[in-house]
């Protein structure tokens, strides 16, 4: 997930979908990308993203954007349920936390 000010909401949704498919964060890949893109203060930027994540997922922009990509019945089972939004926040936060130690 991008650590700059620009965030694609679809990235948040896709991270959870990838986990559901059995994928897990590869901290070695994250470490390499941080180095390749010369990202300074990765951990600070990650902390800021983790702080913003609940607000993003609860927001109408997130719901509107993700609704464009998923069937209505999936939106009704997921995006329109407050408990799912909390679940999504927790799941993605945990995935991002795993990358905290990556750039060493």
pLDDT at 62: 96
Q: What is the DSSP string of 57-87?
A: HHSHHHHHHHHTTS-HHHHHHTTT-HHHHHH
Segment 16-66, tens digit of pLDDT: 999 999 999 898 999 898 899 998 998 899 999 999 999 999 999 999 999
What is the CB neighbour count within 10 angstroms for residue 67? 15
Asked whether the beta carbons of 92 and 53 are under 8 A apart, the reply is yes
pLDDT at 99: 87
Residue 45 lies in a domain: yes
Residue 92 lies in a domain: yes
Query: What's the mean pLDDT in 12-18?
Result: 95
Residue 104 lies in a domain: no
User: Considering its fold, how many domains does the chain have in total?
Assistant: 1
Mean of the per-residue pLDDT values of the chain: 90
Which domain, by its residues, includes 90? Answer: 9-98
Residue 3 lies in a domain: no
Q: What distances in angstroms separate CA 11 from CA 8, 17, 57, 58, 104, one per listed residue?
A: 5, 10, 11, 15, 24
Residue 41 lies in a domain: yes
Residue 2 lies in a domain: no
- Predicted confidence band of residue 1 (pLDDT cuts 50, 70, 90): low
């Amino acid at each position: 997930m991008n650590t700059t000010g620009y965030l694609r909401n679809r990235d948040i949704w896709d991270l959870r979908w990838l986990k559901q498919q059995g994928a897990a964060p590869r901290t070695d890949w994250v470490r390499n990308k941080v180095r390749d893109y010369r990202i300074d203060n990765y951990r600070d930027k990650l902390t800021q993203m983790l702080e913003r994540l609940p607000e993003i997922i609860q927001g109408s922009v997130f719901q509107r954007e993700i609704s464009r990509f998923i069937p209505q019945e999936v939106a009704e089972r997921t995006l329109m349920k407050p408990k799912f939004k909390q679940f999504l926040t927790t799941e993605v936060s945990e995935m991002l936390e795993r990358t905290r130690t990556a750039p060493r």
